[in-house]
Amino acid sequence: MKKLYGIGTGPGDKELLTLKAVKTIKEASVIFAPNNKGKNIALDTAEDYLHNKKVVLIDFPMGKVEKEDYIKAAEIIYNEIPEGECGAFLTIGDPMVYSTFIYIVEELENIKIDVEIVSGIPSFVASAARTKTPLTVKGDTFILCDEFKEELLNYADSICILKTLKNKENILNTFENNDFKYNYIKRCTWNEEKVLSERKDIIKDSDYISLILGRKTSK
């Protein structure tokens, strides 16, 4: 039987790749990752372990990705892994957090292939460490989202918003009106990492690899 590992490569620092990620990448005959103009961040993080392995970058359309696209991706993966061998699909952070891999796994369930997931350190966990922001202490609620609504702050002691390209000004206004302190973390753990806390700097920035982490001021 063929096998696919879904591997989280963490936030970007090569030292935050897990031992298990390295071991499974080394074992894989073929490596998969979404194609981002011929590149992929997860692939860069794992580059030291790819050697001369076959790398298949899978194309997804810009904008809305349809079920058909995930079916096609699942078929490519199945066809590329030799019988009795394993492949590795790399994702940034953790594969179970806002990842394309989740939709591909749904389609792989209809195909005879074994799937195993290797956790990675998610971006929001690395960013909490970087800014020394507790995500939770006893009794707290933490909310992770990629679509911000003011009501969420009624339930959260801490909150992290991923994919912050749009709407940053509204998010910061809402945080300030609800007594939440915040940091904007860009390219966490990379050499180019930046932690911004001034609203004008945050609003000016437009990097997809960024998030906003907030915590109630009273905490």
- Contact residues: ligand SAM, CB under 6 A: 11-12, 91-94, 97-99, 122-123, 127, 162-163, 185, 187-189, 208-211
Choice between 93 and 214, CB closer to ligand SAM: 93
Report, in Å, the least distance between residue 42 CB and ligand SAM.
9
When the beta carbons of 30 and 211 are compared against ligand SAM, the nearer one is 211
Cα–Cα nearest to 211, from 169, 164, 158: 164
In angstroms, give the least distance from the CB of 41 to ligand SAM: 7
Q: Shortest Cβ distance from residue 188 to ligand SAM (Å)?
A: 3
Q: Tokens for 120?
A: 């990675």
Nearer to ligand SAM, 2 or 161 (CB): 161
Task: Return the number of the residue (127 or 133) whose C-beta is nearest ligand SAM.
Answer: 127
Is 118:20 a contact under the CB 8 Å cutoff? Answer: yes
User: Least distance (Å) from ligand SAM to the CB of residue 61?
Assistant: 15
Determine the Cα–Cα distance for residues 185 and 130; give it in Å rounded to an integer: 9
Query: What are the start-end ranges of the E strands in 30-174?
Result: 30-34, 54-58, 86-91, 113-118, 142-145, 158-162
What gap in Å lies between CA 67 and CA 52, rounded to an integer?
32
